[in-house]
Structure 1
Amino acid sequence: MSQTDPRIDAYIAQAAPFAQPILEHLRAVVHAACPQVEETIKWGMPSFVYGGKILCGMGAFKQHATFGFWQGASVVGASPERSREAMGQFGRLTRVGDLPGKRELSKLLKQAMALIDARGKKTAGRTAANKAPAGRTATSDVPASKTRAPKPPVVIPDDLAAAFKKNAKARATYAAFSVSQQREYVEWIESAKREQTRSDRVAQAVEWMAEGKIRNWKYVAKK
């Protein structure tokens, strides 16, 4: 196994006993499928980088572990039920058997790598196109397209930021969320009418995020 990070060794060693074999298994499968992968820690949790981009990541909580691809929807398709259960695309993992088989997981990893490679080629192509000859504009042959005004960035409220300082797992979960998932928590807190309600929501949000839960996790239909 190449390009390993001793911080991940320590992370796995400190994880709950049930989570350790899950994390070790995931780590081994990632390295077998992608020998070029590099390990690092992002937002307090183990992450795997390929081609300078985050390929996937994993994490361990009190009662479950998680695993997900950075471009999850493009790799495994949309799965609202699983994504609402916990971070990543595979729900709450309590044993290795909760994951797809090694062959299937390796196939998904190859797909994720291909997406990163394709994006790199597109970026290189745009860079070359922008270097247009004198007298021509780089975008002269590119049709104009309509663009939507982006939503304003999500700003963490001061009281939530203060609570995150006391709970590293909640902070790491929030950082790993998509922008829309972050926005759901922030807007829920900001919509409180009374100070006590807001305080209660901050506490509840931190508790849920420490468990790897998104804002509307309890409305997911259970199978």
Structure 2
Amino acid sequence: MIKNDQWETELEILKTIIAKTELVETNKWGGCVYVYNNKNVIGVGGFKKFFTLWFFNGAFLKDEKEHLINSNEGVTKSLRQWRFTSKEEINEKEILAYIREAIDNEKQEKIIKPEKTKSEVIIPTLLQNELNSDGDLKEAYLKFSPYKQKEFIEYIETAKREETKLSRIEKIKPMILNNIGLNDKYR
């Protein structure tokens, strides 16, 4: 967000409209954000060519008047902006309708949860050979969470020489068989 006074009057008009709702004004990320039960609902800000009212979960708004845009298509999942270029574009009745709908959506807990990226664990060949040749070791290894399996893999793979990798495998075999994670003693 550009820090300038270009839209000072217009932003004050938006803030006056928002003050008519149950939202609470806070300051986050250097900008003005309005929350309901500590959940971000809307924000206001001024940029070089426009000032904006953005809805953190705007994807759930009906937007029958088609005011909202996704400012970063393909990246932003739920954030939507309503851009203005003059105070004449500010329609209090329409803005309040959108804000009330956003508050109702927040009360209903309509949110888009961030997608967790599940990275596939690739077992190095040297370790895979050991697991294949020892059924007990393989069974014990598979009982570990993917996070702990990854710790073992990274420990082996950070060695540069193959003989160091092999010695590290030998070192962790008893740990795996005794169900002891690589970094358990530090937890």
TM-score range, shorter chain: 0.3 to 0.5
Q: Which of structures 1 and 2 has the larger relative contact order (alpha carbons within 8 angstroms, sep 6+)? A: 1
Higher fraction of strand? 2
Q: Which of structures 1 and 2 has the bigger CA Rg?
A: 2
TM-score (norm: length of structure 2): 0.48
